[in-house]
């Protein structure tokens, strides 16, 4: 058993730019010899994702659109993946969205539409993709599904609001999906990353305060990087993690244990 992913194929959903956690994961998996397939949301992202994918040491670059609010499109994308590669060994789901105006002030002001949107994109999408993978028998040799969560789903984090409620739903989904897919040797886990300056975090009120508090209070007294999250994803994708499912691993310099 080792960390090599030579001969294995993974789908990465959610690369936006080089600061993306999904990109950190891509680099770790690619260095370990994995073949990667990327999906992106919306034409705006396509160029970036293609450029980044091309910069990796991959034999072939597969980049496909996937709007995860559209079940028919999810099915089409994963059927395309099946046609191209036959089967996959893992999936990194790094997708979240909430309306910016609802990531500030009182959670109480969340609208029904904003609530549904945040949950549809940030939580249900994992279940939708997992179901398509199972229905298409895409992980026929077993596999590892990894999603990204955040502490704000376990406890109150200022301004995280409806995203916190969506992450709590995502965390519960990880457990139920792990139970459903265990019989097919598919493991489902989450990584709870500390705050990282990604495009998602850009322009969100109070983010600098969260970074500062993390550096002051986390046992390691520092922030974490995309690379550190990527290496944890690599571990979860590898056979070394074969006994782990339904779990959340915090990659946050120990911050969640404080306070
Ligand atoms: C407590 C933290 C500070 C920030 C509070 C809320 C963060 C919410 C994350 C959420 C995913 C951000 C958005 O949906 C932003 C969106 O409304 C506008 N941005 C975009 O559309 C950009 C262009 C695209 C690329 O972004 C997305 N998401 O599609 C939380 C911090 C400390 C940790 C974070 C940032 C956690 C997290 O969930 O990302």
98-126: pLDDT as tens digits: 999 999 999 999 999 999 999 999 999 99
198-226: pLDDT as tens digits: 999 988 888 999 999 999 999 999 999 99
* CA–CA distance, 215 with 218 (Å, rounded to integer): 6
Pocket test for ligand 1, best of 19, 97, 104 (most atoms within 8 A of CB): 97
pLDDT for 142: 98
| List of residues 6+ apart from 33 with CB closer than 8 A | 4, 5, 6, 7, 8
Ligand 1 atom 14: residue of nearest CA: 97
ipTM over 0.95: yes
Q: Is the pLDDT of residue 1 over 80?
A: no
| List of residues 6+ apart from 193 with CB closer than 8 A | 21, 148, 150, 224, 229, 251, 252
Tokens (6 digits) for 249: 């691993």
Pocket test for ligand 1, best of 39, 163, 200 (most atoms within 8 A of CB): 200
Q: What is the longest distance spanned by two Cα atoms in the chain?
A: 50
Q: How far is the CA of 36 from the centre of ligand 1 (A)?
A: 25
pLDDT for 203: 83
* CA–CA distance, 95 with 82 (Å, rounded to integer): 21
**Residue in the structure block whose two tokens are 């969506």:** 166
Buried b (16+ CB within 10 A) or exposed e, 209-236: ebbeebeeebeeeebbebebbbbbbbbb
Ligand 1 atom 26: residue of nearest CA: 200
128-171: pLDDT as tens digits: 999 999 999 999 999 999 999 999 999 999 999 999 999 999 99
Q: How far is the CA of 200 from the centre of ligand 1 (A)?
A: 4
pLDDT for 37: 98
* CA–CA distance, 127 with 120 (Å, rounded to integer): 10
Ligand 1 atom 16: residue of nearest CA: 100
Domains present along the chain, CATH in parentheses: 9-251 (3.40.50.720)
Q: How far is the CA of 215 from the centre of ligand 1 (A)?
A: 20
Q: How far is CA 102 from CA 149, 164, 203, 206, in A?
A: 18, 11, 13, 14
Q: How far apart are the first and last CA of the chain?
A: 38
Ligand 1: residues with CB < 6 A are: 16, 96-100, 103, 150, 152, 157, 159-160, 163, 195, 199-201, 204, 206-207, 210
48-59: pLDDT as tens digits: 999 999 999 899
Residue 158 Cα: closest atom of ligand 1: 1
Q: How far is the CA of 83 from the centre of ligand 1 (A)?
A: 33
**CB-based burial of residue 254 (10 Å sphere; 0-12 exposed, 13-18 middle, 19+ buried)?**
middle
- Catalytic residue IDs: 150, 160
């Amino acid at each position: 058993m080792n960390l090599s992913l030579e001969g294995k194929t993974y789908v990465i959903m959610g690369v936006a730019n080089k600061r993306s956690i999904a990109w950190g994961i891509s680099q770790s998996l690619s260095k370990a010899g994995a073949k990667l397939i990327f999906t992106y949301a919306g034409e705006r992202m396509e160029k970036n994702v293609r450029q980044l994918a091309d910069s990796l040491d991959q034999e072939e670059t597969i980049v496909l659109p996937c709007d995860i609010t559209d079940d028919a499109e999810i099915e089409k994308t994963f059927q395309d993946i099946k046609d191209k590669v036959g089967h996959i060994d893992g999936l990194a789901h790094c997708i979240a969205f909430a309306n910016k105006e609802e990531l500030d002030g009182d959670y109480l002001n969340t609208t029904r539409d904003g609530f549904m949107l945040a949950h549809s994109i940030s939580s249900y999408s994992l279940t939708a993709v997992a179901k398509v993978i199972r229905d298409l028998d895409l992980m026929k040799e077993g596999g590892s599904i990894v999603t990204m969560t955040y502490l704000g789903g376990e406890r109150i984090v200022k301004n995280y609001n409806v995203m916190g409620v969506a992450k709590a739903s995502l965390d519960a989904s990880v457990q139920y999906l792990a139970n459903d897919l265990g019989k097919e040797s598919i493991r489902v886990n989450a990584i709870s990353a500390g705050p990282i300056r990604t495009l998602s975090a850009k322009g969100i009120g109070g983010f600098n305060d969260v970074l500062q508090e993390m550096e002051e209070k986390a046992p390691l007294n520092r922030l974490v990087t995309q690379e550190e999250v990527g290496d944890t994803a690599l571990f979860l994708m590898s056979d070394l993690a074969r006994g782990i499912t339904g779990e959340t691993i915090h990659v946050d310099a120990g911050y969640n244990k404080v306070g």
